[in-house]
Amino acid sequence: MLHFADLLQYSDVFFSGLLTTVELTVLTTILGIAVGTSCASIRQYGNKTSQRVVSIYVELIRNTPFIVQLFFIFFGLPALGVRLSPWEASMIALTINLGAYSTEIIRAGLASISKGQIEAAKVLGLTFRQTLTRVIFIPAFEKIYPALVSQCIIVMLGSAVISQISVEDLTYAANLVQSRNFRAFESYLVTAALYLGLSILLRFAFNSIGKRLFVYREAP
């Protein structure tokens, strides 16, 4: 009943789609966490006005579907004279999306660092930079790392939507293949399996990065 062999000749289509998805995921993970870290710092340590601006951004993104954000950026912004390619639009949309979610997550981490800990660092004569990295950010990230990893994977899975504005990602490949050979079930099943593999791989990669990043605990 199922004919997976019919998909073999399209393996390069799947592969290039997979590559696009991975590329976008890596890029937006880095950019999104950067946005999230900056916004979380503002929410935690900034002044009232900037705190309010950040929380409006976070709530707006968290309470609207990603596909609407994507359509707004890709179809809506050109009306204001901002013309974006599908690739650019999806990168911006994914970054903004992950940025908002990671702001909330990272802020929780920052909130868990007690004031006394920062004051203690000052008393011990640590420089500003040392305090920032070793006393604030690394311990804060360690606490929220599992949640952050899950969010990055959710955003990666959410990126399937960008096929709708014709970015040639993994889902686009699946649609293309099933429109060629009409093996919809097989094509989507293989693609779902690829996504599953990708999310397992991503979790594994994040965990090994985490082990490197938070190694300081093992020092005597």
Q: Where along the sequence are the contacts to another protein (CB under 8 A)?
A: 1, 59-60, 62-69, 71-72, 75-80, 153, 157-161, 163-164, 171, 174-175, 178, 182-185, 188-189, 191-192, 195-196, 199-200
Q: How far apart are CA 59 and CA 164, in angstroms?
A: 25
In the complex with another protein, the residue whose CB is nearer, 95 or 178, is: 178
Smallest distance, another protein to C-beta of residue 177, A:
12
Are 89 and 165 contacting, i.e. CB atoms less than 8 angstroms apart? yes
Q: How far apart are CA 154 and CA 98, in angstroms?
A: 9
Smallest distance, another protein to C-beta of residue 15, A:
17
In the complex with another protein, the residue whose CB is nearer, 59 or 119, is: 59
In the complex with another protein, the residue whose CB is nearer, 37 or 186, is: 186
In the complex with another protein, the residue whose CB is nearer, 134 or 197, is: 197
DSSP code of residue 75: I
Smallest distance, another protein to C-beta of residue 71, A:
5
Q: How far apart are CA 88 and CA 86, in angstroms?
A: 6
In the complex with another protein, the residue whose CB is nearer, 130 or 197, is: 197
Smallest distance, another protein to C-beta of residue 176, A:
13
Q: How far apart are CA 86 and CA 166, in angstroms?
A: 7
Smallest distance, another protein to C-beta of residue 77, A:
7
**Residue ranges in the chain assigned as alpha helix (H):** 11-45, 48-62, 66-71, 86-111, 115-123, 128-130, 138-158, 170-181, 184-213
Q: How far apart are CA 218 and CA 18, in angstroms?
A: 37
